Amino acid sequence: MFTVILLLLGAQAAAQQYDILLKGGRVLDPANNINTIRDVAIQGNHIARVAAAIPASEARKVLDASGYLVTPGLIDLHFHSYGYSGAIFPDDTALLAGTTTVVDAGGPGYRTFADFKKKIVARCQTRVLALLNIAGGGMVGPSSEDNVADMLPDKTAEVIRNNRDVIVGIKLAHFGKPGWDAIKRAIEAGRLAGVPVMVDQSILTNSGRTSRETLLDIMRPGDMKTHMYNDRQIEIISRFNGKVQDYALEARKRGVLFDMGHGAGSFLWPVATAAARQGFYPDTISTDLHAQSIMIQQSDMPNCISKLMLLGMTLEDAILRSTVNPAKAIHRFPELGTLGEGRSADIAVLALRDGTFAFKDSWGKKKLGTKKLENVLTIRNGRIVYDAEGLAFPEWTKAGNYEVIP
């Protein structure tokens, strides 16, 4: 009898080859051209199988994902976890939004990277990558961010070469001094290390720099202009005729990427609406999430996606620009950004809600929309790390495997 039970248990274990099975969700995996009902099986920390019908008996834990969207874990190309005064911890901010990879946009510089790695990267379940600040001291205010003398392409490229597992590019941020030296040094470091450079709009603040065209001319194909719907310094939309500026169109044609970088100050309904009407959408959707933007604009990835859908972008396109495109921008595709079999099991399960929702911009204005994307479950590296609706929890019944002691 004992042998029989052992044999039966053995047979069951063999049949249950998967650890987690997401059943019946609408799988949206642009990299693999999938946009239909599929089951997704996870084994260990990777995606084992995506198919029309995987038997529930083959998995130890089965989650009913019907009615939900199942997408690759979202990739946030612009996040603040270190250095910046409003830095936030990724695990309790990104993971609950379905974001499994964040790219810290310029928190550490070559002098502070080791500290960032110890305090943030090593402590996070979230995959934390970084755009190394060209300023050696990182994003700690003007004393560092304006200090051209400490923007050293050689040193920066060396730290990148030694940490390619974490560093995926370079950031130039908040630079408020005259001249083009800072961006030129960032680009030179990018050339030496073979990585892209992301730049914000502050480079255009100072009157010593006379043209927006010059910045975009310096930027290479694959470099990224973030905060694209910020109208304060770079004017994507002409104030005279409401058209997308020729220099922006030309830069895009040349391969310069435009990143959303929502933040607290960089998403304006008038600019975004005019740009969207002319089809000038972000190549990559990103949050610029920090202490303020997470509380007031609540610009997490599902919020940014919802706003772009309100502007006319399809859900499929928005997921492409939140998974495949950012992975490509940091040269991590197809390692990241897909639900391909064998890939890291980083997954978001999202709900597309109907109702009336307020979507807030940075000038204190809101638009009301009727669709809102919300993350309900996150799997990171094969583990369920967020479960808002208890999808992984079997329903308790009195006849279940434990009872309340009276």
Instruction: Report the interface residues with Zn ion, using CB under 5 A.
Output: 105, 288
Structure tokens at 264: 């607290």
- Which distant-in-sequence residues (6+ apart) come within 8 Å of 6 by Cβ? none
Indicate the residue among 30 and 265 with the shorter CB distance to Zn ion.
Answer: 265
Closest CA to 72 of 277, 324, 301: 324
Strand pairing of 34-43 and 18-29? antiparallel
Q: How far is the CB of 87 from Zn ion (least distance, A)?
A: 10
Beta bridge partners of residue 105, listed in sequence order: 131
Q: Closest approach of Cβ 144 to Zn ion, in Å?
A: 15
Judged by CB, which is closer to Zn ion: 23, or 225? Answer: 225
Which CB, 102 or 274, lies closer to Zn ion?
102
Write down the least CB distance from residue 266 to Zn ion, Å: 8
Which residue's CB is nearer to Zn ion, number 329 or number 376?
329
Q: Which of 320, 316, 311, 300 is nearest to 374 (CA)?
A: 300
Minimum CB separation of residue 224 from Zn ion in Å reads: 12
> How far is C-alpha 393 from the chain's CA centre?
28
Q: Are strands 46-51 and 74-79 parallel, antiparallel or unpaired?
A: unpaired
Closest CB 102 distance from Zn ion, rounded Å: 12
Q: Is 395 exposed, middle or buried (0-12, 13-18, 19+ CB in 10 A)?
A: exposed
CB of 219 to Zn ion, least distance (A): 17
Closer to Zn ion at the Cβ: 105 or 170?
A: 105
Closest-by-Cβ residue to Zn ion is 288
Q: Which is nearer to Zn ion, 265 or 302 (CB)?
A: 265
Two tokens at 154?
A: 């050689």
Residue with smaller CB distance to Zn ion, 293 or 306: 293
- Least distance between Zn ion and beta carbon 171 (Å): 8
Determine the longest span between alpha carbons in the chain, in angstroms: 87
In terms of CB distance, is 104 or 374 closer to Zn ion? 104
Token pair 């402590």 is at which residue? 123
The contacts of residue 93 (CB under 8 Å, 6+ apart) are 289, 294, 300
Query: Among residues 105 and 187, whose Cβ is nearest to Zn ion?
Result: 105
What six digits make up the tokens of 391? 């999808």
Whether the ω angle into residue 270 lies within 30 degrees of 0, i.e. cis, is: no
Between helix 153-162 and helix 181-193 the angle, nearest 10°, is: 40
Shortest Cβ 267–Zn ion spacing (Å):
12
CB of 80 to Zn ion, least distance (A): 6
**314 contacts: CB under 8 Å, gap ≥ 6:** none
> Other C-beta atoms within 10 Å of 371: how many?
13
Name the 3-class secondary structure at 17.
Answer: coil
